Amino acid sequence: VDLTPAMLRRAEAKVGNRRIRLLEMDAMDLRFPDSTFDKTVLHLVLAVVPDPVRTLQEAERVTKPDGLLVVLDKFWNRPKPPPLPLRMANALLGGYVTAVDRNFHAILRSTSLSLVREVSLGFGGLYWIYLLRKVPAPVATATAES
């Protein structure tokens, strides 16, 4: 899915004759039923959407229980603030292109997803891949009334 028809046209040119359906849709408001997908991938999405928390929650919602989510993106995962050049880049680009100061672990806390693995791809520790699992909801048990 992508919000812009121009990006979908670019993707369509790369898909070729594979059985892949491209849809114009907002990642913060996915029009899929709950628990639709076994696997969900967010590739360079959380750094560009206005609300990365809502986007990850939507990805969690449409993923089946015990399903996997893969997130690849730019994150600043350190306790100290980003260096001045990154803060300046974020001030210039954050509202238009990409945010470079988002902390994935802070975003992840808004979900019940379980972190399976995280891998730094380098680039000064800015690019990361996360493998997440959607934890199945606890099964309610009936209690005997007295």
Residue keyed to tokens 């359906």: 21
Mean residue pLDDT across the chain: 87
Q: Which two tokens stand for residue 50?
A: 């206005």
DSSP letter, residue 111: S
Check residue 93 and give its pLDDT: 65
| Cβ pair 25, 3 in contact under 8 A | yes
d(CA 55, CA 39): 15
**Is pLDDT of 89 > 60?**
yes
Most confident of 11-20, 28-37, 44-53, 100-109: 28-37
**Is pLDDT of 11 > 60?**
yes
Check residue 146 and give its pLDDT: 47
Strand ordering across the sheet containing 127-133 = 37-43, 63-74, 127-133, 114-120
Q: pLDDT for 27-76, tens place per residue?
A: 999 999 999 999 999 999 998 899 999 999 999 999 999 999 999 998 87
d(CA 71, CA 130): 5
Average pLDDT over residues 94-99: 64
